[in-house]
A and B are shown apart, each in its own frame.
Chain A
Amino acid sequence: MKKTSSTIVFFGSGPVASASLEFLAKNFTIEAVITKAKPPHHKSPAPVEILVKKLELPTFFANTKLELDEVLGQKKFSSPLGIIVDYGVIVSTKSINSFAKGIVNSHFSLLPEWRGADPISFSILSGQKETGVSLMAIVPELDEGQLLSQQTIPIKKSATNPELTEQLIDLSNRMLLHDLPLYLTGKIVPYDQTSTGISYSRKINKSDGILDWSKAAIQLDREVRAYIDWPKSRTTILKKEVIITKTSVSKINLTDAKPGELDINPMTGNIVVQTGSGCLCILGIKPVGKKEMTSAEFIRGYSSPA
């Protein structure tokens, strides 16, 4: 007897999960999708929920470890493998063992670097030059499972969180397509993560988005790029609440200026802010309730009486 090597059960809930599932469904037979139920205060259904309706995939909901144990205990899926991407629920040993080949997670860092909830933001915040994707056979301990494969991509100097996320999704999809069949047929033998270079990421909070001008300009520029989708980099300029959307770093300090003090670049008309080290040139700015604009436009609009 032969089988298609590709029936899998997919676990995921967020936007990255949705992008991965859309690709996987084109290339593998999905036996079922397990996702989180929409919280009552959300108006629209989660991206995965919309996608499974479109693709007509059998779907089950589990919001906690216990609910997941229950779903897997009742359904007894025949797939040898689960794939988990952007799910946000801890999985028990019992659930992992309900699949002959366990559950594989695509984690968006070069493990053991940036284990935890938000590896992409932290790889931008740290200013590192490269990151990548790790396929891992999960264990109940946080991101400590054995690796199936790892691939690296460079982080561009100007990379924003959504740009880097898109590149990583693309890489992850290519790796899943190539490596899952090899893993299922025993041609990939998982190996331990290195015991050095371990670091942890955490969930980003809303308060992380408040710009602290005593930090170095280079760090603030990374924050703007890392937080561009959420929580967004916020500050008050000329007594107006604004979101900073694009910046560049100047190593030159303003004369006699304290962190947070402004000047205008005479060449471009854009705002330059003194930071703890160097200056941050504000290129894109979005005043609350207004459209995004250059900081030169912001200055003109603010200073004009209209």
Chain B
Amino acid sequence: MKKEDIITLPHASLRQRSKKIGLITKETLVLIDDMKTAMLDWENSRDHEITVGLAASQVNHLLRLFIVRDQKDPEKFIVFINPEITKYEGEQKTDYEGCLSIKEVYGLVPRYETVRVKATDINGKLFSLKAKGDMARILQHETDHNNGVVFVDHIKESKDAFFKLEKNGKLTKLDYEKDILNNSILW
């Protein structure tokens, strides 16, 4: 897969709920590999952005599956099959996030500081982990994708939460009334 295989809004699949994976087949593993390739291909085309996670729905496969980059080693990916957030902890913290399926727009999104996630790995083994900070944010963002939710949906009413990525890599605030409110791509 290439970066062009990543779908972007207003593609309808991004707002659909994904289905559980019953059996991990060869096709599932091929899909996971394809998703990694697409992520890296996308990243190589960008000067100022890095990819941290990708859900299957973003390559138009409506399956409950996402991959996340290992924060200590960006060469490695952690695969979450049929993931579920079992517990939210701490306060909600607001930080910038973007989405490979939403071009140019970044947002200040509130997310829980800590989450516990239960999922299946590629060998079909159940695992659970507790994640904090950035990782917790990523897991909440990707879980949303499985449920047909994108980050802008969380901040739809927030006038000061939308930003645009400039060519030099800086974020500048978008005009809510003009750029966001009646944006036919986002909503």
Interface residues of A (CB under 8 A from B): 1-7, 26-29, 76, 78, 80, 100, 181, 184-186
Contact = CB atoms under 8 A, between A and B. Distances in A.
Contacts of B151: 1
A81 to B, nearest CB: 11
B169 A5 contact: yes
A1 B74 contact: no
A4 B75 CA distance: 18
Given A1-B138, A6-B169, A76-B133, A181 B47 contact: yes
Interface string B30-57: 0000000000000100011111110000
A295 B169 CA distance: 52
B95 interface: yes
Contacts of A27: 168-170
Contact of A184 (B50, B138, B168): B50
Contacts of B97: 1-3
B168 A3 contact: no
A3 B133 contact: no
16 contacts: A1-B97, A1-B100, A1-B138, A1-B141, A2-B99, A3-B49, A3-B50, A3-B96, A3-B98, A6-B170, A26-B168, A28-B169, A29-B96, A78-B134, A185-B43, A186-B73
B165 interface: yes
Nearest to A5: B50
A148 B98 CA distance: 27
Most buried by A among B106, B168, B170: B170
A15 to B, nearest CB: 24
A100 B47 CA distance: 20
Contacts of A3: 49-50, 52, 96-98
B40 to A, nearest CB: 9
B72 interface: yes
B71 interface: yes
Nearest to A26: B168
A58 to B, nearest CB: 13
A5 B51 CA distance: 9
Nearest to A7: B96
Given A1-B53, A4-B98, A186-B73, 16 more contacts: A1-B51, A1-B99, A1-B100, A1-B138, A1-B142, A3-B97, A3-B98, A6-B170, A7-B96, A27-B168, A28-B170, A78-B133, A80-B71, A181-B47, A181-B169, A185-B50
Contacts of B48: 4-6, 181
Interface string B130-166: 0001100110011000000001000000000000010
A282 B156 CA distance: 71
Contacts of A6: 48, 169-170
Interface in B67-85: 71-75
A27 B53 CA distance: 24
From A3, A6, A27, A28, residue with most partner B Cβ within 10 Å: A3
A113 to B, nearest CB: 31
Contacts of B98: 1-4
B169 A100 contact: no
A185 B170 CA distance: 17
A262 to B, nearest CB: 56
Interface in B89-148: 95-100, 106, 133-134, 137-138, 141-142
Nearest to B170: A29
Contacts of A184: 50
A3 B106 CA distance: 8
A229 B23 CA distance: 72
A186 B74 contact: yes
Q: Which 7 pairs across A and B sit closest by C-beta, in order of nearness?
A: A186-B74, A1-B141, A5-B50, A2-B98, A1-B53, A6-B169, A185-B50
A5 B170 contact: no
Contacts of A29: 96, 169-171
Nearest to A76: B133
A80 B137 CA distance: 14
B156 to A, nearest CB: 18
Nearest to A186: B74
A171 B106 CA distance: 31
Nearest to A178: B47
A113 B47 CA distance: 32
